[in-house]
Structures are given as C-alpha cells and as structure tokens.
Amino acid sequence: MNYPMRLYTVETVEGPEWIAEFVDIFGCGGGGATAKEALEDALINLEYYLKFAKERGEDIPQPSDYNACNGKIALRIPKTMHQRLVMRADEEGVSLNQLLVSYLAEMLGGGKSKI
C-alpha cells in the first residue's frame, strides 16, 4: 500500500533530526540523521505495523488519496461570520473567495496576507 507521508526536521540537542510520519497511521513513522534514514526507518516500521495488525485481525486503514482533491470545499459557518467576511471583502475590494483564499494562505504559510 502507498501511504502518504510527512517528512520534516526537528531540532534536538544533537542537531536536526529528520522525521517521517505516515499520516493515515497514528504513531507510525521513523527518524534519522538524514531524510533517507528517516524514510528507511519509517518503511521498516510500517512493515512491522502492517504485519502485527494483520496477525491480530485489526482493521488496517486505507491510504488517503490526496490526488482526489479538486480545490473545492463547502463550509457551514455562522451567519454573523459570513456577514463579517462579506463586509471585509467589500472593504478590500475583492471577492469573498479571494479574501478566504488569502486568509488560508496566510495561515498555512505563516506570512502576512496580501489583502
């Protein structure tokens, strides 16, 4: 199975360490001094996890398919929040969609919104 993975570094007292985590299997991952070591460790741990779960008859999660994302989402929000967002978009002279995309980009990137 082809499970999606997060690969990132963390600072330790010995310096940076690479972490590889499978997003669909909580707690399953690996670590190492390099990205390659973390990936190899994670794949070994995934193999052990899948074998152990199968032996115990546990449900094995299916891999997420992030390629199925089409860029569209639907949200239910309070009416007052919707009104405030529409008012802010009008103040900025942009569409509500453009305002929301800018806010999301700011939150994900940690940067300053262009709007």
Per-residue pLDDT tens for 43-94?
A: 999 999 999 999 999 999 999 988 888 888 888 999 999 999 999 999 999 9
How far, in Å, CA of 61 to CA of 1, rounded? 10
What does the pLDDT read at residue 47?
A: 96
pLDDT at residue 29 tops 70: yes
The sign one gets for the Cα dihedral 92, 98, 99, 105 is: negative
Burial 9-25 (b: 16+ CB within 10 A, else e): eeeeeeeebbbbbbeeb
Long-range pairs for 47-50 at CB < 8 Å and ≥24 separation?
49/25, 50/1
